[in-house]
Amino acid sequence: MRSRFQDQNRVNDACSSFYVLRSIRILRWVVLLAVLGLIGWAAHYEMRTSYVEAWLFLNRERRQNRAGTPSMTSGVTGRDGYQ
């Protein structure tokens, strides 16, 4: 037969593991919401500034100039016809 003390320990272990699992579940949701918030902020920042788009096109332009191929702006002229 089990003693009353052993039964109480078993109940305490079950309760503590329940709280640990519940805490992990809550922490997962907090991390997920934080990541989604960060992605939303980054998308909003990009829509306002177009920083990433400009950076990507600038890097592409630099790679093309190193390769000796015509760049995207090589044939573009200004309003008055001069480059």
What's the CA gap between 65 and 29, in Å, rounded? Answer: 47
pLDDT of residue 7: 58
Q: What is the pLDDT of residues 14-51, one digit of tens each?
A: 677 888 889 999 999 999 999 999 999 999 999 999 88
Domain assignment present for residue 80? The answer is no
Domain assignment present for residue 77? The answer is no
Domain assignment present for residue 79? The answer is no
Domain around 42: 4-66
Domain assignment present for residue 20? The answer is yes
How many domains in the chain? 1
pTM over 0.85? The answer is no
Angle, helices 51-67/4-49, rounded to nearest 10 degrees = 70
pLDDT of residue 64: 76
